Amino acid sequence: MTSRLAHCEAGQTPKAAEGEVGVYRFLIVVERADGNFSAYSPDLPGCVATGKTRDQVTRNMHKAIEMHVRGLVEDKLPVPKPHAFAEYVAVLT
């Protein structure tokens, strides 16, 4: 089965494969923790992941979001609309 969620670069939206209902796109925040990395999505409370590397936590978070969204769909619950976005701010000192 093809994944509904795809890792997206900024500004890109993947197209749904034939026969799929839609594609969901959520911001994830990755943070360095004690000896590993953790991630969460502000739009999906409670959906978190960890990993030894940034790459691993990103893959794990992708799987966690996919499982979370599929669970909501299977339980006939609404999938939250993404509202979060990220910006970087440069400060000169």
- Domain of residue 60: give its range: 29-74
Which domain CATH number covers 37? 3.30.160.250
pTM value is: 0.73
Does the CA dihedral 36-39-45-47 come out positive or negative? Answer: negative
Beta strands in the chain (DSSP E): 29-32, 37-40, 48-51
In a domain, 7, yes or no: no
In a domain, 91, yes or no: no
pLDDT surpassing 90 at residue 57: yes
Looking up tokens 């943070």, which residue turns up? 31
In a domain, 41, yes or no: yes
Query: What is the average per-residue pLDDT within 70-74?
Result: 94
Query: What is the average per-residue pLDDT within 75-90?
Result: 94
In a domain, 67, yes or no: yes
pLDDT surpassing 80 at residue 13: no
Query: What is the average per-residue pLDDT within 63-72?
Result: 96
pLDDT at 20: 52
How many domains does the chain fold into?
A: 1
